């Protein structure tokens, strides 16, 4: 079994965003750039390449953050042990795991 850090690192690495940015119009010196994300049918339009790139950066960071949080949904045994004293019962152990998992799931439901 992998450590939590390894799990999160792998999730971040796998959370790649496929995209393309193309200059689609140039009329009277006004540029229009079209951003298409892989697997998304509706393109987005921007007035500059920098704006499109910033959108990609934000989307990539949010996807990586979400992947990292999702990877942490199930706590490892060391995390549970840190939240439970040695004289507590298995029921408390399960409760700590349930509370932790519920907290992570709530974080994933948050909207920006």
How does pLDDT run across 85-109, given as a tens digit for each residue? Answer: 666 666 776 788 888 888 898 988 8
Domain, as residue range, for 17: 1-72
CB 60 within 8 A of CB 47: no
- Which string of DSSP letters, residue by residue, matches 70-95? HHTSSPPHHHHHHHS-TTS-HHHHHH
As for how many domains the chain has, the answer is 2
User: What's residue 89's pLDDT?
Assistant: 67
User: CA-to-CA distance for 112 and 105, rounded, in angstroms?
Assistant: 15
Are both 66 and 107 inside the same structural domain? no
Are both 80 and 37 inside the same structural domain? no
pLDDT in tens, 3-60: 889 999 999 999 999 999 999 998 898 999 999 999 888 999 999 999 999 999 999 9
Q: Within 10 A of 95 (CB to CB), how many other CB atoms are there?
A: 14
Asked if pLDDT for residue 112 goes beyond 60, the answer is no
User: What's residue 81's pLDDT?
Assistant: 77
């Amino acid at each position: 079994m992998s450590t939590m850090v390894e799990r999160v690192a792998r999730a971040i690495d796998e959370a790649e965003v496929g995209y393309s940015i193309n200059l689609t119009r140039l009329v009277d010196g006004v540029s229009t750039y079209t951003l298409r994300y892989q697997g998304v049918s509706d393109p987005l339009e921007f007035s500059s390449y920098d704006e499109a790139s910033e959108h990609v950066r934000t989307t990539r960071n949010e996807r990586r953050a979400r992947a990292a949080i999702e990877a942490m949904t199930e706590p490892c045994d060391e995390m549970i042990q840190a939240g439970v004293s040695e004289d507590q019962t298995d029921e408390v152990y399960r409760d700590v795991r349930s509370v932790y998992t519920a907290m992570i799931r709530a974080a994933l439901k948050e909207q920006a």
